[in-house]
Amino acid sequence: MSHSENCIFCKIAAGVIPSRKVHEDDELFAFHDINPWAPVHFLIIPKAHIPSMAQVGPEHAALLGRMMVLAPQLAKVQGCNPYPAGGFRIVTNTGSEGGQEVHHLHLHVMGGPRPWLRG
Ligand code: AMP
Ligand code: ZN
């Protein structure tokens, strides 16, 4: 499951489809959401193709931990205000009933002054 044909987020991670990059390392890629709900709204994805949280197992614990540790670091850099008056929201939609549209695991990280468009 390192790469999936016709997966838009695999193509973004590979640089084949352009994005507004926020962060890149050997395992993770982060970029601004094209349709932001909040003043700050970016996505964190693993470079490896994992369809959703439904496919996650114990072998992914370290990878998911890295994603969760990266989220507050990038939120701060991207301009989310400090906790507790500021903060941010982390969302992971899973499956159609969970509201997932792109089937490559991603964390939404949203923040900034309210009101937001959604969320
Ligand atoms: P989800 O509904 O959780 O699967 O969210 C998918 C998110 O990907 C949505 O918020 C979209 O706006 C975003 N998205 C889709 N295509 C792109 C793209 N090419 N660049 C950046 N964000 C995208
Ligand atoms: Zn993918």
Confidence of residue 118 (pLDDT cuts 50, 70, 90): very high
Q: Work out the average pLDDT over 50-59.
A: 98
Q: Which pTM does this prediction carry?
A: 0.98
CATH class of this structure's domain 8-111: alpha beta
b/e sequence 40-71, b meaning 16+ C-beta within 10 Å: bbbbbbbbbbbbbbeebeeebeebbeebeebb
Residue ranges of the domains in the chain? 8-111
Residues 98, 106: Cα–Cα separation, whole Å: 13
Q: Is 99 in the pocket of ligand 1 (CB under 6 A)?
A: yes
Q: Given ligand 1 and candidates 35, 40, 52, 107, which is best to mutate, with the most ligand atoms within 8 Å of its CB?
A: 35
In the residue annotation, 23 being an active-site residue is answered as no
Ligand 1 atom index nearest CA of 35: 12
Whole-number pLDDT of residue 2: 77
Residues 51, 80: Cα–Cα separation, whole Å: 28
Q: How far is the CA of 2 from the centre of ligand 2 (A)?
A: 8
Amino acid at 62: A
Whole-number pLDDT of residue 1: 52
Rg (CA), the chain: 14
Q: Nearest ligand to the C-alpha of residue 47? A: 2
Whole-number pLDDT of residue 101: 98
